[in-house]
Structure 1
Amino acid sequence: MPLPTGNTAWPPSYLGPALDAMHTWDSWWSGDPDRLEQLYGGSTGGGPDPKRLQYAGGVVGRIARWWWGTPTALGERRTKLHVPIAGDLCGGSADLLFSEPPKFTVDDDTTQKRLDALADDGMLATLQTAAEIGAALGGIYLRPVYDKDVADRAWVHAEHADRALPEFTWGRLSAVTFWRVVREEDGQVWRHLQRHERGRILHGLYQGTKDNLGRPVPLEDSEATAGHAATVDADGAMATGYDDGLDVVYIPNQASRRWRCDPKLKDWGRSDLDGVEPLMDSLDETYSSWMRDIRLGKGRIVVPETYLQSNGPGRGASWNPDQEAFAGVNVLRTSDGFALTVAQFAIRVQEHKDTAEDLVNQILRSAGYSGQTFGIGGDVAVTATEVTARERRSMTTRGKKILRWRPALSQLVEALLAVDRYAFGGGITPQRPTVEFEDSVQEDPLSLANTADTLRRAQAASTDTLVRMAHPEWDDDQVKAEVRLIQQESGTAVPDPMQAGDLP
């Protein structure tokens, strides 16, 4: 299927619900209060009636009635406080998946050595970033890329879901078109489209408007795409070097809920933030109310105007809001002097703290995580078994995500090897590797030592088994070398008399 011929709405209208949802999740994930106010209509905008949107009907009125949709009154400073729990959620999800690098194993030794080099070249950092973005936007695309002027090997690149037009066949990605804006000038927008199909990539440059793709123009018309002009054929396509399948994989974060009945969106993923936006809005309101109590709870003394600091003739008097005596009043002089009034409001610490903690726990539980994963519940040292028990919900969510990541990474690595061989040679044999995710909870060394000692004294495990238990990250050669050293030091490295042969 070729690229669009032009003069069509862009992005396509059926992507609207998904892009709107991702824009909302992205605003929460960014942690920018200005973006949240703009999203929910909470900025004053200088209009005569800053609350007019809150009385509107439909979607506009509904989101404007959120706490972040409450505008700041004209002439007052913004006192809304944002708690970046969305960023903590998405970052914690990535940490659960890729706190340790996954292990890729293939049969061919030459290919394995090249794969080890490719995996060590920043792949873990890319996977961590991709996992966090995928948790925020509901999914992430990964593909191999190369540039001989930058590096002597191929590497993995992440494409964001809010700039992709995917096509699925029976739930599997069969083609995808990525787009990016390369130039904007005088109301005109130049977009670069990349359509990935089996074995090839089609490149196209379009000149249009903000909402329309416009007409196709030569790739040379933009510096960002001029480099592709010499590498594409007459159809605007170039080979990927991976002929056995699509060179792009899509990893949905979780199964979609809101679009399950939409035939074009049902295979899109679901964000960890989906459904918890009202709770995050309430959490921000709670913390802002807490900070408001602190501001109002500062001890003040209401004093006569003569107690204020004069700014000179005709310039009035001023006060420092952080000094105890600041409010001037006109009062009659009494026999005891001027009247002084102390103003001290209560700060409802415990009420706000309990409310905030309950909201945080509800947000984490709804997103599929345990509070222990995010440091809620104390920092008392416990064993790995106890940690796993306390974080069972997080471990379950991690396991569900691994079910989607493992086959996608296997295909991605095969494509990476194929692209690397296509671009740089090396005599490797591309093949799908076995992917192993490391345990995100490491056992305490003292606990492991006690367990190994008990098993040895009970004669319930061999030296080889105990070494593998203490060092699960070691390969067979490292384990065998350690076993030989232990046997030599303990004096047990003697041949078996039953296999020594006949004596002379």
Structure 2
Amino acid sequence: MPLPANGAPWPPPELAKLYAEIRVDDAWYSGDHDKLAAVYRDNVLRKDGRRRLWARDRNVHPGKRDTRLHIPLAGDIATASADLLFSEPPTFTVADTAAQDRLDEIADADGIANTLIEAAEVASALGGVYMRVTWDRALADRPLLTVVHADAAVPEWRWGRLAAVTFWHELASDSATVWRHLERHSPGRVEHALYQGSPDRLGVRVPLTEHPEVAALADSLGREGDSIETGIDLLTAAYVPNIRPNRRHRGSPFGRSDFGAPLYDLFDALDTTWSSWIRDLRLARARLLVPDGYLRDHGPGRGASFDDDREIWQLLNIPPTEGGGITLSQFEIRVAEHAQTAEAITRQAVRSAGYSAQTFGLGDQVAVTATEVKARERRSMTTRDKKVRYWAPAVADMLHVLLMLDRALFTPSLVVERPQVEFAPAVSEDPSSTAQTLALLSQAEAVSTETKVRALHPDWDETAVREEVDRILAESGRTVPDPMQAGALV
């Protein structure tokens, strides 16, 4: 599919429902009060007649402050998902030594580990994310790995695989005109276009030089005037679904969010619970009920006023002889009921999202071994393992593209191959537990010195392992010369 024609509706109508769902996911993920209120005001007239906490108009009573409280559980779920995947950076390996050095250099200089953890958090919230390889000679002497959010892309699928994709974003404008930059990636080519339109229409395509944010791209375009040849036959973008299938769009290649529609009710209930809890705190402020006969008159014409934030006393128009004079009034705060309700909702929400309660600090927090942690967080580990199988091929593909572009543009002598991606363990083994395990295996004569060194230092290369084994054998007096090399037989 080529770039859109002039006047096309935007975003494309076929993605309108998906974009609307992502908008709600984004509101919960951001935790922004205005976003939450906006998405639910737009959907307040539901067929089932439900009204959520965030569907209530905060401006019904002018001057009254908004007392709704939001708990950012959706953002916590997205962060936990990213942490489980990439809190420890994965390792990228290729066979060629020079290519490995260049890959390490690019990964370190470009902060690819940070890019991946950002992408994983966005994918958890929005159902998927795009990775894109690009370059800018004025900025860096290497290709760059970047992230594009799911609601800023129009994908083209073939047999459930990404065949091409158009990324877009709105540019700055000082008028009612909406400027959009479209960037279409297909195998071997990247096309750029600038459109001048309205909020719901793409408008007219104009030269890139018409807007300062993209004017510099005009010098990079090829002879056809709208595209850049990449010099490789691979797609310079990849889509990573958070997890499949998408239950709201069965059969589609799009991933589903970690929370989405099934958890909206729980998020809203959690906010309602906490808002009620804080309301109890406000209502429970101690007040003294004071007959107005006890107070001094300020004189005629002075008027009267009421302090809504008065903490100690409250004026009542009652005779001093009724009710025993000054009375203390204080409501009960239902701490236990609110706390238990909030914890129950949180547990159900994280379980429905595919994680264990312990991942979010719920339950016993005593020190345990890595094996016990894995057992307690089995549900989280299972979800992580499923996501790894989506991430590993996409990351390897993009690193392969990155190396191929590096050879085509910056390092002609580079030997390119598709890297191997290995994810770090989600839970690091406790050193004392590892030492105890190795001691028991050694006592049973079931493990060699080399195996023990590799188990203790899994990040060491072959040379470092061999040197450490030789030192251990020499220090323990177990290095015995080969008798066949002692001298000539007589």
Q: TM-score, normalised by structure 2?
A: 0.94
Q: Which residue in the other structure is 1:316 paired with?
A: 304
Choose the corresponding residue for 2:231, options 219, 229, 241.
241
Q: 2:357 touches 2:363 (CA, 8 Å); kept in 1? A: yes
Q: Deviations over 1:221-243 (max 9, x none)?
A: 01122111111121511022332
User: How far off is 1:305 after superposition?
Assistant: 3.2
| Shift of residue 421, structure 1, vs aligned partner | 1.7
Q: What amino acid does structure 2 have at the position aligned with 1:117?
A: E
1:299 to 282, 286, 302: 286
1:273 is displaced (CA, Å) by 1.4
Cα distance in 1 between the residues matched to 2:167 and 2:323: 77
Partner Cα distance (1:204, 1:299) in 2: 65
Distance 1:183 1:460, change over 3 A: same
Letter in 2 for 1:9: P
Aligned to 1:287: 274
Looking at structure 2, the residues matched to 298 and 83 of structure 1 have their Cα atoms a distance apart, in angstroms, of: 23
Q: From the superposition, tell whether residues 308 and 165 of structure 1 become closer, same or farther in structure 2 (CA, over 3 Å).
A: farther
Report the AA paired with residue 74 of structure 2. Answer: A
The residue aligned with 2:442 is: 456
The question of whether the paired residues in 2 share the 8 Å contact of 1:308 and 1:319 is answered with: no
**Deviation of 1:256 (Å):** 3.5
Q: Count the aligned residue pairs.
A: 484
| 1:251 corresponds to which of 240, 243, 251 | 240
The answer to whether the 8 A contact 2:220-2:228 is kept is yes
C-alpha change, 1:307 and 1:100, in structure 2 (3 Å) is: farther
State the Cα distance separating 1:496 from its structure 2 match.
Answer: 3.4
SS at match of 1:346: coil
Matched, 1:271 2:271: no
Is the alpha carbon distance of 1:239 and 1:344 closer, same or farther for their aligned partners in structure 2, counting shifts above 3 Å?
Answer: same
2:26 corresponds to: 26
Cα deviation 1:274-321 (Å, max 9, x = unaligned): 120110000000011111111112222111236669888624245473
Equivalent position amino acid for 2:31 in 1: G
> Please, which of 88, 107, 110 is the counterpart of residue 98 of structure 2?
110
The corresponding residue for 1:231 is 220
Q: Distance in 2 between matches of 1:319 and 1:168?
A: 63
CA distances 1:254-279 after superposition (whole Å, capped 9, x unpaired): 113344346xxx11111111120110
Number of the residue aligned with 1:142 = 131
- The percentage of counterpart residues that share the same residue type is 46
Counterpart residue number, 1:132: 121
Q: 1:484 to 1:8 in 2, by over 3 A?
A: same
Distance 1:446 1:306 in 2: 75
CA spacing shift, 1:311–1:364, aligned 2, 3 Å = farther
Q: Which amino acid aligns with 1:290?
A: W
Preserved contact between residue 287 and residue 356 of structure 1 (Cα < 8 Å): yes
Distance 1:298 1:169, change over 3 A: same
Segments of 5+ residues of structure 1 without an aligned counterpart are 43-52
Q: Give CA deviations for 1:338-362 in whole Å, capped at 9, x if unaligned.
A: 7222222111111111111110001
- Asked if 2 retains the 8 angstrom alpha-carbon contact of 1:304 and 1:338, the reply is no
Q: Does 1:155 align with 2:141?
A: no
Is the counterpart of residue 429 in structure 1 residue 405 in structure 2?
A: no
> Matches of residues 29-428 of structure 1 in structure 2 within 5 Å?
29-41=29-41, 56-58=45-47, 62=50, 65-72=51-58, 73-75=60-62, 76-121=64-109, 122-233=111-222, 234-243=224-233, 245-261=234-250, 266-274=252-260, 275-305=262-292, 314-319=302-307, 321=309, 323-325=311-313, 327-334=314-321, 339-428=325-414
Please tell me the residue identity of whatever aligns with 2:415: T
Q: What is aligned with 2:9?
A: 9
Length-normalised TM-score, structure 1: 0.91
Hey, what's the Cα distance between the residues in 2 that align with 1:305 and 1:456? 87
Q: CA RMSD in A?
A: 2.1
- In structure 2, do the counterparts of structure 1 residues 293 and 133 end up closer, same or farther at CA, with 3 Å as the change threshold? same
Which 10-residue stretch deviates more, 71-80 or 212-221? 71-80
Displacement of 1:502 after TM fit? 4.5
In the TM superposition, structure 1's runs of 4+ consecutive aligned residues that sit over 4 Å from their partners are 306-313, 317-320, 498-504
Equivalent-residue separation in structure 1 for 2:486 and 2:444 (angstroms): 28
Q: 1:474: which partner in 2? A: 460
1:492 aligns with one of 436, 456, 478: 478
1:39 partner letter: V
- 2:457 and 2:310 map into 1 onto residues whose CA distance is 59
SS of 1:272's equivalent in the other structure is coil
Once the two structures are TM-superposed, the CA of residue 435 in structure 1 deviates from its matched residue by 1.0
Distance, in Å, in 2 between the alignment partners of 1:30 and 1:307 is: 52
Distance 1:308 1:191, change over 3 A: farther
| Change in CA separation of 1:316 and 1:429 when aligned onto 2, cut-off 3 Å | same
Seen in structure 2, the aligned counterparts of structure 1 residues 309 and 99 have a Cα distance that, compared at 3 Å, is farther
Partner of 1:47: none
Secondary structure in 1 aligned to 2:120? helix
